Amino acid sequence: MTGLLRGIDYESPIVKYRGERILGTLRKVSGRETNVDPLFLIDTFYVHYLPLPIVKTKEEIQQSDAVKYSLIDLTMSSEIVNRNRNYSIANSAVSMALSVSYVQNLIEELERIRRTSQSQEEREAAEQILNGLMKGSQGKEGKQNQNQQQSQATNKLMKQVHEKAMAKATEDSNSVKSMQRIVGGNGAGTGSMMNFEGDIHDVLRLARNTEIKKILEFLSGIPRLGSFTKKKTARYSKGELFGYEEGSDIERLVPSELALPEEVFDVKLAESQLLLYQKQIKETLGPIYLLLDKSGSMDGEKILWAKAVALALYSRARRENRDFYLRFFDNIPYPLIKVIKNAKSKDVIKMVEYIGKIRGGGGTDISRSVMSACDDIKDGHVRGVSEVIILTDGEDKIAETTVRRSLKEANATLISVMIRGDNADLKRVSDNYFVVYRLDQGDLLRVVES
């Protein structure tokens, strides 16, 4: 058996494995068994993945493949698909998301029409298309008594369900693309990209979560997000060259100085006037520790914006090769979430899912939350943390003396971000204090880049 595209070795173990993976993901996402032809899934994947897929001619395909051929042809000529190519080519996770979501929505829409349509002709057309997608089925298109009117109805319905399924698939793939960009670190110079292909069923489930979808859409509209990275350097004789200076460190001597007469060289050495290379090394940055207020007063726009900041800060931590710690709080601190610098995609997905599930509610105890962060540092639950960031609207009274003592014992500084609020007590104990009102992309960048 063979598929509908030229240049694909359908007997290759890698290609067969790709089809099995897509079919397995489709079953997980839809929550049921399905007998969709794996060859159609493979073709759907490679139409998005390849730079220039080429479809076989109608004369080269079997009659039983007519429905699949028509759908692939519609996909190839779709303007939406051509726009998607900007990020789907050679991106296996996005191509898989497009394939799985498209086929799932295609089948669900056809089944809905077959079940609920008032038109018998439309129900039969939906049945015919569904049969044509299944493995080993000849479909009604092989019947000799099919009339021209039914064929036109089938083609019309096919185009209709194709466009609807592709639009939904594009929405899902946009979320996958955004997640890759925001939490996967796929910008230039950021190292390897977190692919998510192995966990695409979980990513698709997250992509359809209303809360996560809003956050990803908000963050995807910030072109600069991902371009800023903090660099900390220190002078070191064996580091990288970045300039010149005068001094007496022979180890960093510019070779041209060796051409000086011996007497002149000795004088310049004694007076620290030899021309030297300036060298530096990049110092490792400590983890980012974030406290996020989820009290009742934060519910709504405030907590949604704060969650977006949390994901943006994680994005920065990943780019800068730093561990990331997150703890929600209201009147009590919630469990500490830790995502290490080289975390696997499953760990990142769990964090994003956790962020999406949190809802505003409860009282507020800022002092207790800061003290819990300090205890994490002092007790060794987190290592290398020197800065604690807190996002809150500040509706609480601070135990200044206790908080100051805890920060001093942990040797930590406190950065406070006030979300449409103000707290004079917190301002006095904070090393840096920001107030944001608009809760727009500009405010987010100001916080993340500070």
Q: Are residues 63 and 168 in the same domain?
A: yes
For position 30, what pLDDT does the model report?
92
Q: Which amino acid is at 439?
A: L
Phi, psi of 426, deg, nearest 5: -65, -35
Kindly state whether residue 7 falls inside one of the protein's structural domains: no
Q: Are residues 350 and 376 in the same domain?
A: yes
Kindly state whether residue 220 falls inside one of the protein's structural domains: no
Q: Are residues 197 and 237 in the same domain?
A: no
Q: Are residues 142 and 237 in the same domain?
A: no
Distance CA 172, CA 31 (A): 17
For position 139, what pLDDT does the model report?
44
pTM to 2 decimal places: 0.81
Distance CA 54, CA 42 (A): 14
Distance CA 232, CA 381 (A): 24
Give the pairing type, strands 274-282 and 233-247. Answer: antiparallel
CATH number at residue 438: 3.40.50.410
For position 280, what pLDDT does the model report?
73
Kindly state whether residue 100 falls inside one of the protein's structural domains: yes
Q: Are residues 306 and 183 in the same domain?
A: no
Helix axes 345-357, 200-207, angle to 10 degrees: 20
Which residue segment(s) compose the domain that 422 sits in?
A: 288-448
For position 147, what pLDDT does the model report?
43
Q: Are residues 139 and 248 in the same domain?
A: no
Kindly state whether residue 196 falls inside one of the protein's structural domains: yes
Kindly state whether residue 226 falls inside one of the protein's structural domains: no
| pLDDT 10s digits, 336-371 | 999 998 888 889 999 999 999 999 999 999 999 999
Q: Are residues 259 and 335 in the same domain?
A: no
| pLDDT 10s digits, 404-434 | 999 999 999 999 999 999 999 999 999 999 9
Q: How many domains does the chain have?
A: 3
Q: Residues in the chain with pLDDT < 50?
A: 139-150, 187-192
Q: Are residues 292 and 278 in the same domain?
A: no
Q: Are residues 125 and 190 in the same domain?
A: yes
End-of-domain residue from the set 175, 208, 241: 208
Q: Are residues 72 and 182 in the same domain?
A: yes
Q: Are residues 319 and 428 in the same domain?
A: yes
Q: Are residues 243 and 358 in the same domain?
A: no
For position 433, what pLDDT does the model report?
96
